[in-house]
C-alpha cells in the first residue's frame, strides 16, 4: 500500500481511503492535450488544401469554446478548468466538422451552443448526455442549412498553396463526394474525381472537398493509432463502426451508389474522424468491451441508413448523437457479473 493512501488521524492511527487504489501517471489534462496534438496534422493539411481561412475558423472556434467555458463556470459558480484542454478539443472538433467556407461568426454560435448548452447546462464535464461538438454542428445545420451544406471549397490542385490568396478570389466552390454520390451515383463521382484507383489515393491522403478536418483518413488514422498505443481509447468502437459502414454500404448501397466500393463510403465522409475522435468520447460512450462493439455497429448502421434513405448525404453526426443517450442503457445491459456474494444471499 502506498503512503499516499494513508492519512494520520488525531489519535495517531492510520485511516485507509476507500479502495480501489489505482496509481497512474495519466490525468484528464494530459489525455486532452494529447488528443489536441493528434488533431494538429489534419489542420495543417487543411490550411494547404483550402487556405488560411481554415486556421482562422479553427482559432475562432477554439477561442469561443474556451471563453464560453470560463464564463459558464463563472456564472454557475464552478471552478474554472479551461487549462484541462477539454474546451480546446471541443472547439477543434467543432471546426473540423463544418465546411471551410462558412462565415467567421458561425463557429462562435456553435461554440456557445456546444459548451454552454450541451455541456454546462447539463452539469459540466462528465455529465453531458451528447457530444458537445456534434450538438454545435447540429445546431448550425438546423439554423443555417444553406451555409452548412454549400460552403465547400475545392482543394488547390496545381500545387500552389497561394493559388487564390491575394488574387481577389477567396476560394473555388464545389460539391463533396457524398453529395455527388447521393445525387449522381458512382458514375458522377468518377466523372468529377477521375478513376476509382486515383480516388482511393487522393481520398485517403485528404485531397478532396469536405469539412475542415475530416478529409485526410491517413492523418486521422495516425493520430488514432497513437491514441490506441497510449491506451486512451480502444479499438472496439472505431473498428466496429468502420467495418459496419463498409459492409452495409457494399450490401445495400445499390448498383448506382456504393456496391463493390465500400472504401469510397468510408473515405468520402467524416467516418474516420467520427470513429476515432467523437464516438469514443469517454462520457458519451460505453466502457465495457462488448457494449463498445455493439455501440460502434449501431452507429455504423445508422450512418448508412441516413446516407442511403435520408435527405442528408452524411449521417455520422446524427448517428453518434442518436446513440449517445443510449450509453447508460448499454452500461446496464453489459455490466460485468458480480462474483462476491450479495447482501442477504443464502438466507
Q: Can you name the residues that pair with 173 across neighbouring β-strands?
A: 153
Which pLDDT band holds residue 321 (cuts at 50, 70, 90)?
Answer: very high
What does pTM read for this prediction? 0.84
Q: Is 91 exposed, middle or buried (0-12, 13-18, 19+ CB in 10 A)?
A: buried
Q: Dump pLDDT digits (tens) for 56-115.
A: 999 999 999 999 999 999 998 888 888 888 999 999 999 999 999 999 999 999 999 999
Inter-residue contact 253 to 237 (CB < 8 Å): no
Compute the CA torsion angle 104, 105, 106, 109 (nearest 10 deg): 150
**Residue length of the chain:** 347
- pLDDT for the residue numbered 216: 93
CA distance 177 to 295: 26
Given a cut of 80, whether residue 256 has pLDDT beyond it is no
CA distance 33 to 86: 8
Inter-residue contact 118 to 128 (CB < 8 Å): yes
- pLDDT for the residue numbered 338: 66
- pLDDT for the residue numbered 342: 59
Higher pLDDT, residue 261 or 69? 69
Given a cut of 60, whether residue 315 has pLDDT beyond it is yes
CA distance 184 to 179: 8
Q: Dump pLDDT digits (tens) for 21-63.
A: 555 566 778 889 999 999 999 999 999 889 899 999 999 999 9
CA distance 339 to 333: 17
Q: Dump pLDDT digits (tens) for 196-231.
A: 888 888 899 988 888 999 999 999 999 999 999 999
Which pLDDT band holds residue 2 (cuts at 50, 70, 90)?
Answer: very low
Helix (H, G, I), strand (E, B) or coil at 15: strand
Do the bridges between strand 6-8 and strand 14-16 make them parallel or antiparallel, or are there none, so unpaired? Answer: antiparallel
Inter-residue contact 114 to 65 (CB < 8 Å): yes
CA distance 70 to 188: 47
Q: Dump pLDDT digits (tens) for 273-306.
A: 999 999 999 899 999 999 999 999 999 999 999 9
Given a cut of 90, whether residue 10 has pLDDT beyond it is no
Given a cut of 90, whether residue 126 has pLDDT beyond it is no
Mean pLDDT, the chain, whole residue set: 84
| Among candidate residues 99, 96, 117, the one with its CA nearest the CA of residue 274 | 96
At which residue does the C-alpha cell 457524398 appear? Answer: 178
Which pLDDT band holds residue 313 (cuts at 50, 70, 90)?
Answer: confident
Domain boundaries, the chain: 28-150, 186-208+216-328
- pLDDT for the residue numbered 259: 64
CA distance 66 to 36: 14
Inter-residue contact 313 to 176 (CB < 8 Å): yes
Given a cut of 90, whether residue 191 has pLDDT beyond it is no
Which pLDDT band holds residue 13 (cuts at 50, 70, 90)?
Answer: low
- pLDDT for the residue numbered 131: 94
Amino acid at each position: 500500500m502506498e503512503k499516499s493512501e494513508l492519512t494520520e488521524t488525531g489519535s495517531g492511527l492510520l485511516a485507509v481511503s476507500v479502495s480501489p487504489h489505482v496509481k497512474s501517471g495519466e490525468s484528464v489534462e494530459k489525455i486532452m492535450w494529447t488528443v489536441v496534438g493528434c488533431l494538429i496534422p489534419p489542420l495543417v493539411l487543411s490550411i494547404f488544401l483550402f487556405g488560411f481561412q481554415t486556421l482562422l475558423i479553427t482559432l475562432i472556434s477554439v477561442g469561443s469554446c474556451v471563453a464560453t467555458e470560463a464564463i459558464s463556470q463563472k456564472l454557475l459558480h464552478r471552478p474554472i478548468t479551461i487549462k484541462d484542454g477539454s474546451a480546446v478539443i471541443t472547439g477543434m472538433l467543432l471546426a473540423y466538422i463544418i465546411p471551410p467556407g462558412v462565415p467567421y461568426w458561425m463557429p462562435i454560435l456553435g461554440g456557445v451552443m456546444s459548451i454552454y448548452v450541451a455541456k454546462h447546462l447539463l452539469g459540466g464535464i462528465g455529465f453531458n448526455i451528447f457530444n458537445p461538438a456534434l450538438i454545435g454542428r447540429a445546431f448550425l445545420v438546423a439554423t443555417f442549412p444553406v451555409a452548412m451544406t454549400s460552403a465547400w471549397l475545392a482543394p488547390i490542385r496545381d500545387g500552389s498553396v497561394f493559388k487564390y490568396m491575394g488574387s481577389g478570389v477567396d476560394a473555388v466552390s464545389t460539391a463533396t463526394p457524398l453529395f455527388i454520390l447521393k445525387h449522381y451515383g458512382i458514375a458522377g463521382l468518377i466523372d468529377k474525381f477521375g478513376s476509382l484507383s486515383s480516388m482511393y489515393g487522393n481520398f485517403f491522403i485528404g485531397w478532396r472537398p469536405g469539412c475542415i478536418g475530416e478529409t485526410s483518413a491517413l492523418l486521422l488514422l495516425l493520430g488514432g493509432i497513437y491514441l490506441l498505443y497510449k491506451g486512451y481509447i480502444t479499438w472496439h468502437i472505431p473498428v466496429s463502426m468502420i467495418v459496419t459502414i463498409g459492409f452495409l454500404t457494399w450490401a445495400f448501397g445499390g448498383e448506382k451508389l456504393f456496391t463493390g466500393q465500400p472504401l469510397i463510403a468510408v473515405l468520402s465522409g467524416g467516418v474516420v474522424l467520427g470513429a476515432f475522435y467523437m464516438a469514443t468520447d469517454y462520457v458519451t460512450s460505453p466502457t465495457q468491451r462488448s457494449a463498445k462493439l455493439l455501440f460502434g455497429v449501431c452507429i455504423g448502421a445508422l450512418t448508412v441508413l441516413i446516407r442511403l434513405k435520408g435527405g442528408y448525404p452524411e449521417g455520422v453526426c446524427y448517428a453518434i448523437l442518436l446513440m449517445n443517450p443510449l450509453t447508460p442503457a448499454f452500461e446496464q445491459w453489459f455490466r460485468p457479473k458480480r462474483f462476491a456474494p450479495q447482501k442477504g444471499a443464502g438466507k
